[in-house]
Amino acid sequence: MKTPRFIGAFFYFYKMTNTSFLDKIAQVLIEDYSEKLFDTIVILPNKRAKVFLLDSLKKQVEGTIFSPKIISIEDFIQDIATIRSVDAIELLFEFYDVYISITDKANQQSFELFANWAKTLLQDFNEIDRYLLEPLHVLSYLKDIEDIKRWGIEVENKTQLLENYIDFWKLLPLYYQSLYDHLLKKRIGYQGLIYREAVHNLNHFSSSIQKKQFIFAGFNALNAAEEKIIQHLIASNQAKIYWDVDQTFLNDPYHDAGLFVRRFKESWKHYKSNPFQWIVDDFSQTKNIQIIGTPKSIGQAKIAGSIVENSINSNPNTALDKVAIVLGEESLLVPLLYALPENVGALNITMGYSAKNNPAQILIAKLFKMHTNALSRSNSSYVFYYKDVLDVLTHPLVEPYANTNALVTVINQNNYTFISHHKLMELNVNPSSLFQLLFQKWDNGSIAVLESLSSLLLSIKNNLSNDNEEEKITKAFVFSIFKIINKLINYYSQHQHINKIETLYAIYKQVIELAEVSFEGEPLNGLQIMGVLESRVLDFDTVIVTSMNEGKFPAGKSMNSFIPYDVKRELGLPTFKEKDAIYTYHFYHLLQRATTIYLLYNTESEGLDAGEKSRFITQLEVEKQANHNITHEIYNAVVPEMAYQPMVIPKSENVMLRLREIAEKGFSPSALTSYIRNPIDFYFQKILHIREVEEVEETIALNTLGTIIHETLRVLYEPFVGKFVSESNIQDCFKLLDDEVLKQFKLIYKEGEIKKAGIF
């Protein structure tokens, strides 16, 4: 019987058994909550797991049932607090409004300077609130630490800079309280504020939902607010929590994968008289773990693609939805997509891909550079630097659609170094709408610039096809930046006191650091490609993990906080230890139920993307389980025995004919030098007429200078061909020399800046 599709809130199900964590949760829902599923709410660590839990339910039940409500922990906390979450950039704008309102005008900083320290301070506010610490105590503590550091400085020796620095620490409690009150009045907030307000509202929430039952599933690390909320609901007999922890990690007091769950098991009152659910024994089961080292990141992408291809070829019925590629480094996504075999079919990419490497973002960055440089010129005219113009015109999102190849040729041939806006429009006789959007003047304020960029991105998006897979991915990149630009338009319309283009670019760069590209896909179908955090709660049969190097997996230690390490330890805030433990849990959870595992790492110890082998690999080898089969291989690129075959050009009739033509005119010294140094170059340049690409010369090139000298001497000496040259003739040539050199410069160096050529 064919299974009907989901309609409304109803499902049709057929029976199937499996042992994944979500299958077990589905079984609990069916067995213990079947009569009250409509009043049951399942809370998961992330939104993505909801689709997989619904699929597990579908496979275990026959007939029609109501689905329980399934939400993420963050959405659940927002429901309790009744406060809307704001993104990081909106929060930064709101904080700046608060900062301006409570700071003397003489001491107010520009938005660029403010943002540099405000982002870090907001992260600290967030941590203080999530862990329910007394903010005034913590922030006053920080001020006292700074006072102690400068205890011995005499009053007369305190500089204005030092006074401002100490004042900053004194103002932290005021910044916190003013921002908190401001956001609360608007019923919006950052995560920590929402968590603190949820705890305040917990008793009211608990009494208002007496009929509801909550199931918390698949959690590991909890902050103090989450702990308090969950324990309260459990104590009120309104909730149950199901952990997913393996006894191998839980019973080892030193294993970080069980660090948090061990703490909860020992400290929660509930477990003094109730069983702990669930402790499993999956990690010690039979597993084939293949550790593969290869130079550089691209090698890892190619190996991951080969593993998938071999898996499909050896077993065409391989269920690719049970295969996960987990990228320890998000920049590997695009190389991986190119490395995958064509017969993969469906893909499900569920990871945040940074907007930094987004081709649309790179184009916007080039536009900002071009226009800000044009605006900053000392003269009043809007003048572009040729490199900025060519960078934009040759960008892959512009070049195929703007019809500017002729313009690029003109700029190179005529040696334009600086081009006025008027001249640029004059050179491009029939400008396309895309070209006009690219070079529209940015002199009407930030909103106009953002609206122009929005129109530009929409125009580029419309040029891309939905039929081509590569263009579909590019369209996702363009649309992500389009949404960011439109967000900025919304923010700027509400905060019009920030209206400088330089400030706009600084804000844009900070937005891009936080922005991610979302891909659309069918979650339950095809090969699963994801980041580390997206793998939470999910189980796969085959797992391929890339970038297993220190600093990548686990991530390196970063101290992006004003709160010192020892203060964090004392106050119970998370430190490097806890952050590493979170990564450890995610890694071992990936391996927990998998049977075939590939761990890929970069063997290079030096370079930008290098680092030593991850401690997780060493830990697997040192603490090897009896049923684990671990192999270690190093893959290197295949180097041919012979680098290349010598190139031989037969002297055909056409070649000999061309050589005779050159001989009749005479072989120049440079041609003979080229033949002696590299005969192939001579063949390409003189026989086939293949010339180097013409480029703009900012500083005159030696060959151009040689041509100018050669042509000047030719013009001066031509009148004396076949005649006797006297001393007076030479003197007359000297009189004509400067004018002729300048004339030849204009002919050969063309529109180049002669004064900047490095000669005059």
Tens-digit pLDDT profile for residues 604-623: 877 666 678 899 999 999 99
515-544: average pLDDT: 83
- What residue type is assigned to position 314 of the chain? S
Lateral strand order in the sheet of 40-44? 69-72, 40-44, 213-217, 239-242
pLDDT confidence tier of residue 644, bands split at 50, 70 and 90: confident
CB neighbours of residue 572 within 10 Å: 13
pLDDT confidence tier of residue 582, bands split at 50, 70 and 90: very high
293-298: average pLDDT: 88
pLDDT of residue 320: 83
In 3-state terms, what secondary structure has residue 217?
A: strand
Quickly list DSSP for 509-534.
HHHHHH-EE-----TTSSEEEE-SGG
Of 274-278, 607-611, 637-641, 685-689, the least confident: 607-611
640-651: average pLDDT: 79
CB neighbours of residue 364 within 10 Å: 21
82-106: average pLDDT: 89
Report the run of H or E that residue 279 belongs to, with start and end: strand 279-280
Average pLDDT for the chain: 84
Are 68 and 40 within 8 A, CB to CB?
yes
Q: CA torsion sign, 515 to 516 to 517 to 519?
A: negative
Which is it for strands 10-13 and 63-66: parallel, antiparallel or unpaired?
A: antiparallel
24-50: pLDDT as tens digits = 999 999 988 888 888 899 999 988 889
81-100: average pLDDT: 90
Of 137-146, 171-180, 190-199, 589-598, the least confident: 137-146
What is the CA 617 to chain-centroid distance, rounded?
Answer: 26
- Res. 586: pLDDT tops 90: yes
- Res. 17: pLDDT tops 80: no
- Res. 599: pLDDT tops 80: yes
Cα angle 591, 596, 601 (rounded to 5 degrees) comes to 70
85-91: average pLDDT: 87
Q: What whole-number distance in Å separates Cα of residue 706 and Cα of residue 245?
A: 76
CB neighbours of residue 371 within 10 Å: 24
Q: What whole-number distance in Å separates Cα of residue 88 and Cα of residue 96?
A: 12
CB neighbours of residue 178 within 10 Å: 16
pLDDT confidence tier of residue 238, bands split at 50, 70 and 90: very high
Q: What whole-number distance in Å separates Cα of residue 475 and Cα of residue 453?
A: 16
Residues 6+ apart with CB under 8 A from 499: 445, 446, 492
Q: CA torsion sign, 551 to 555 to 556 to 558?
A: positive
Q: In angstroms, what CA-CA distances link 428 with 364, 416, 437, 453, 556?
A: 22, 14, 14, 21, 50
pLDDT of residue 471: 79
Higher per-residue pLDDT: 235 or 334: 235
pLDDT confidence tier of residue 738, bands split at 50, 70 and 90: confident
Are 469 and 337 within 8 A, CB to CB?
no
- Res. 597: pLDDT tops 90: yes
pLDDT of residue 326: 94
Share of the chain above pLDDT 90, in %: 36
**Gap between the terminal Cα atoms of the chain:** 88
198-227: average pLDDT: 93
pLDDT confidence tier of residue 134, bands split at 50, 70 and 90: very high
Tokens of 308: 């998938």
Highest mean pLDDT of the ranges 208-212, 257-261, 312-316, 482-486: 257-261
Residues 6+ apart with CB under 8 A from 734: none
Tokens of 599: 């761990």
Residue whose C-alpha is closest to residue 601's, from 295, 308, 339: 295
102-124: average pLDDT: 87
As to burial, measured by CB atoms within 10 angstroms (0-12 exposed, 13-18 middle, 19+ buried), residue 59 is middle
- Res. 226: pLDDT tops 70: yes
Residue whose C-alpha is closest to residue 297's, from 262, 332, 267, 337: 332
Report the run of H or E that residue 293 belongs to, with start and end: strand 287-294
Q: Return phi, psi of residue 697, to 5°.
A: -105, 110
Are 54 and 13 within 8 A, CB to CB?
no
335-392: pLDDT as tens digits = 898 899 888 877 888 877 777 778 888 999 999 989 888 877 655 678 888 888 889 9
Of 198-202, 332-336, 526-530, 670-674, the least confident: 670-674
- Res. 760: pLDDT tops 60: no
Residue whose C-alpha is closest to residue 464's, from 439, 508, 429, 434: 434
Tokens of 83: 């406060």
pLDDT of residue 165: 76
Q: Which residue has the tokens 């007091």?
A: 253
- Res. 529: pLDDT tops 80: yes
Task: Please tell me whether the peptide bond between 278 and the residue prior to it is cis, using omega within 30 degrees of 0.
Answer: yes
pLDDT confidence tier of residue 625, bands split at 50, 70 and 90: very high
Of 195-204, 425-434, 617-626, the least confident: 425-434
CB neighbours of residue 760 within 10 Å: 11
Q: What whole-number distance in Å separates Cα of residue 503 and Cα of residue 505?
A: 5
pLDDT of residue 400: 86
pLDDT confidence tier of residue 9, bands split at 50, 70 and 90: very low
pTM of this prediction exceeds 0.85: no
Q: What whole-number distance in Å separates Cα of residue 706 and Cα of residue 188?
A: 69
pLDDT confidence tier of residue 755, bands split at 50, 70 and 90: low
